[in-house]
Amino acid sequence: MIKERILLVEDNKALSNLVRRKMEQNLNYEVIQAYSYREAEEILEDNDDFFIALLDLNLPDAPNGEIVDFILSYNIPSIILTGTIDDNIREEMISKNIIDYVYKGNMDDVNYIFSLIKRLSKNRYIKVMVVDDSQVIRNKIKKVLEKQMFKVIVAAHGEEALNYLESNPDIELILTDYNMPVINGLELTKEIRKKYDKNQLIIISVTSSNEQLISAKFLKIGANDFINKPFSDEELICRVHNMIEAKEYITKMTNMAHLDFLTDLYNRRYFFDNIEDFLKDKNGFAIGMLDIDHFKKINDRYGHDVGDEVIKEIAKVLKNETKGSDIVARFGGEEFCIALRNIDKKSAVGFFVKIRRIISEKIVAVNNEKIKMTVSIGVAFKEDGDKIEDILKKADEALYEAKNSGRNRVEIA
């Protein structure tokens, strides 16, 4: 896989090498270095495909920030590195449509560069919606957020925003004004909170400074944060990034509670917390208990690290073959449970037969060893009056029968 590239233009070679080493150790990018304006020109003559550029504001052959306009002319997003900063320099740099500026003071500043690049890399996959009836404000916020590499959608009022959200359910953050025609910001927030909680979709209200009570109302009905108008670009960026990072942290903590650490499948606890909903399905569902055949022999012969690789390979198959509405859980050791939603008996049996075949054809290559594996599967369906414990017991009994009948089989309860 070809790595994305970062252009680093910095005349202090010690600092440049430090940044490059740390960046290549901590980030999956190739860093191309230039120590002067002229060297940057030569690099871009051959290839101008860069994810981002880090630019020293004062170079020997470009002491007045000429490198900034030059790099931006190639449409390369840029972060400015400077040893001096004042209000005039700040205003001038922000007017040039840069991403950010960093004062080269100490290692904390260098570390900020790494965290910013990580953030920008993630932002490319995050959808944000700006809702404001003022085209000027909409475009201003859109421009600021696009510089931070977010995917930005704009709406002129709440009704339009709800329509966009319906067709873009992966929107992660909404910035909304209060005073808007058709549906105002408060009404919009109330409607969104009927479907999405605060950890699923972030809402930041953007209100005028003389509307302090409105900010409180927004927070009480479910907004995550608020920004008073007028605001600086930096305040907007910091608040948006803080909210996104808080959401990511909550998601990470939730995943740690719900996911198996080895396979990233759901764990036993998540399965039992969510499986009751399957009992309500009118279109039927199936549960399959899957166990790796002779797994102890694999561990004894090749070691537990290889055994872990076998488990992860089977987890990949189960992930790839199931739908998002299904539940695939690792129950422990070499045992998995698969719950298929909205499926008839014939299709479910066909699914598990296919899973058995795919796994039997897999080869795990570890330390020059090629390891084949098979699984046994017991399948059960809900009968009238069954509780989830009854269905699992039937699937377990079918799995036991598959094991006793020679393994590498699917048995139906």
Rounded CA-CA distance 177/15 in Å is 44
Q: What percent of the chain has pLDDT over 70?
A: 98
pLDDT at position 102, please?
85
Rounded CA-CA distance 60/81 in Å is 15
Q: E strand or H helix at 8, and its extent?
A: strand 4-9
Per CATH, which fold does 124-256 belong to? Rossmann fold (3.40.50)
Listed in order, the ranges of the chain carrying CATH 3.30.70.270 are: 266-412
Per-residue pLDDT tens digits for 125-137: 999 999 999 999 9
Per CATH, which fold does 4-117 belong to? Rossmann fold (3.40.50)
Q: How confident is the model at residue 211 (pLDDT cuts 50, 70, 90)?
A: low
Kindly write down the DSSP assignment for every residue of 133-193, as one continuous string.
S-HHHHHHHHHHHHHTT-EEEEESSHHHHHHHHHH-TTEEEEEEESS-SSS-HHHHHHHHH
Compare 90 and 342 and report the one with higher pLDDT: 342
Q: Which of 381, 373, 380 is closest to 408 using CA atoms?
A: 373
Per-residue pLDDT tens digits for 66-76: 999 999 999 99
Q: Which of 319, 289, 295 is closest to 307 using CA atoms?
A: 295
- Burial group, residue 377, by CB count within 10 angstroms (0-12, 13-18, 19+): buried
The alpha carbon dihedral of 322, 324, 326, 327 has a sign of: positive
Q: How confident is the model at residue 93 (pLDDT cuts 50, 70, 90)?
A: confident
Go through the chain and tell me how many residues it has: 413
Per-residue pLDDT tens digits for 336-383: 999 999 899 999 999 999 999 999 999 888 777 789 999 999 999 988
CA atoms within 13 A on the CB side of 182: 14
pLDDT at 281 over 80: no
- Region 266-279: what's the mean pLDDT? 90
- Domain at 266-412, CATH from 3.30.70.270, 3.30.70.100, 3.10.20.30, 3.40.50.1980: 3.30.70.270
pLDDT at 315 over 90: yes
Q: How confident is the model at residue 1 (pLDDT cuts 50, 70, 90)?
A: low
Listed in order, the ranges of the chain carrying CATH 3.40.50.2300 are: 4-117, 124-256
Contact between 328 and 319 (Cβ < 8 Å)? yes
Per-residue pLDDT tens digits for 113-122: 889 999 999 9
In sequence order, the 6+-apart residues with CB closer than 8 A to the CB of 37 are 9, 59, 61, 62, 66, 67, 70
pLDDT at 195 over 70: yes
pLDDT at 385 over 70: yes
Q: How confident is the model at residue 27 (pLDDT cuts 50, 70, 90)?
A: confident
pLDDT at 105 over 80: no
pLDDT at 391 over 70: yes
Rounded CA-CA distance 234/138 in Å is 16
- Region 254-261: what's the mean pLDDT? 89
Q: How confident is the model at residue 86 (pLDDT cuts 50, 70, 90)?
A: confident
Q: How confident is the model at residue 103 (pLDDT cuts 50, 70, 90)?
A: confident
The residue assigned the tokens 């600086």 is: 232
pLDDT at position 170, please?
95
pTM for the complete prediction?
0.75
In sequence order, the 6+-apart residues with CB closer than 8 A to the CB of 219 are 205, 225, 226
pLDDT at position 367, please?
76
